[in-house]
């Protein structure tokens, strides 16, 4: 889907606040720069780092850089860190104002994190319920399109929408859309699950080009192991949704035959 041109936001939309949520596992080297860049994004009044059981100094570095930090004492995976982050933001949302939009960033974006700003206007203006960053080609990237292809084909077959970068986790969502997609798919299946669950329910997703840089997986053994984990989690997310959709169909048919 092509992003709709941003129209002039109404005053309520201009006041709408945004919370940045950064799931982070062992990101001490980059998290400070990422946090500072995230704080510079217009409308952002809260930057929350969820330290997902890091064994390095991520939590301390993030706090020193000005983030609110919560921590999983053991590693639970990215999706769980996103759920924790969204729950903490909800506790901090004002009772008499609209809930904050949720802008999920990765901990390794560094200075480029500020370039996630274009994700906000389409959601703020109501043109989309979820905006997803389209990243430029990354130096050193060594993927062969296997996980990406699985995610894209699965989303397309279940929703009719074929995203260009289905694994991109740099996303902005309304609270309503986020809640409609919970519980999230586990681990690396989270982006695929979000896209299937939201678009299948009629929520609007758009992809927006953003000049973001991250630590791309290369061609070494660790990168290939990482891709194997991504493949497993995407497959699990897709299969769970296929089973759920089949079960819904069976229930509908049973209700239909009971009515006749």
Ligand X SMILES: O=C(O)[C@H](O)COP(=O)(O)O
Residue 43's φ and ψ, nearest 5 degrees, are 80, -10
What number of chain residues touch ligand UPG (CB under 6 A)? Answer: 22
Query: Which residue number, 100 or 227, has a Cβ lying nearer to ligand X?
Result: 227
What number of chain residues touch ligand X (CB under 6 A)? Answer: 10
The nearest distance, CB 56 to ligand UPG, in angstroms, is: 11
Task: Please report whether residue 230 would count as binding ligand X according to CB under 6 A.
Answer: yes
Among residues 99, 110, 166, 169, the one that binds ligand UPG under rule CB under 6 A: 169
The residue whose two tokens read 């974006």 is: 109
Among residues 83, 106, 197, 207, the one that binds ligand UPG under rule CB under 6 A: 106
214 contact choice in ligand UPG, ligand X, none (CB below 5 to 8 Å, kind-dependent): ligand UPG
The nearest distance, CB 147 to ligand X, in angstroms, is: 3
Mask for 169-208, x = binds ligand X (CB under 6 A): ----------------------------------------
Task: Please report whether residue 230 would count as binding ligand UPG according to CB under 6 A.
Answer: yes
Considering only residues 74 to 93 of the shown chain, the ones binding ligand UPG according to CB under 6 A are 75, 77-78, 81
Contacts with ligand UPG by CB under 6 A lie at: 23-25, 27, 52, 75, 77-78, 81, 106-108, 167-170, 188, 191, 214, 217, 226, 230
């Amino acid at each position: 889907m092509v992003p709709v041109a941003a129209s002039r936001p109404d005053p309520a939309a201009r006041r709408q606040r945004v919370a940045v949520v950064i799931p982070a596992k062992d990101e001490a080297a980059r998290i400070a720069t990422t946090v500072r860049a995230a704080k510079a994004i217009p409308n952002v009044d809260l930057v929350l780092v969820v330290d997902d059981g890091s064994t390095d100094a991520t939590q301390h570095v993030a706090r020193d850089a000005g983030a609110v930090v919560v921590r999983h004492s053991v590693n639970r995976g990215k999706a769980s860190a996103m759920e924790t982050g969204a729950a903490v933001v909800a506790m901090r949302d004002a009772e008499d104002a609209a809930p904050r939009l949720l802008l999920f960033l990765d901990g390794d974006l560094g200075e480029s994190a500020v370039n996630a700003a274009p994700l906000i206007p389409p959601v703020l203006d109501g043109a989309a319920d979820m905006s997803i960053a389209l990243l430029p080609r990354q130096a050193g990237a060594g993927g062969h399109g296997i996980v990406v292809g699985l995610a894209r084909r699965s989303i397309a077959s279940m929703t009719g929408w074929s995203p260009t970068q289905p694994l991109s986790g740099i996303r902005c969502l309304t609270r309503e859309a986020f809640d409609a997609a919970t519980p999230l798919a586990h681990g690396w299946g989270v982006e695929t699950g979000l896209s299937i669950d939201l678009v299948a329910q009629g929520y609007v997703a758009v992809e927006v080009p953003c000049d973001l840089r991250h630590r791309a997986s290369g061609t070494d053994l660790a990168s290939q192991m990482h891709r194997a984990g991504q493949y497993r989690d995407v497959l699990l997310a897709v299969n769970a949704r296929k089973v759920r959709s089949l079960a819904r169909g069976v229930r509908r048919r049973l209700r239909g035959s009971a009515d006749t």
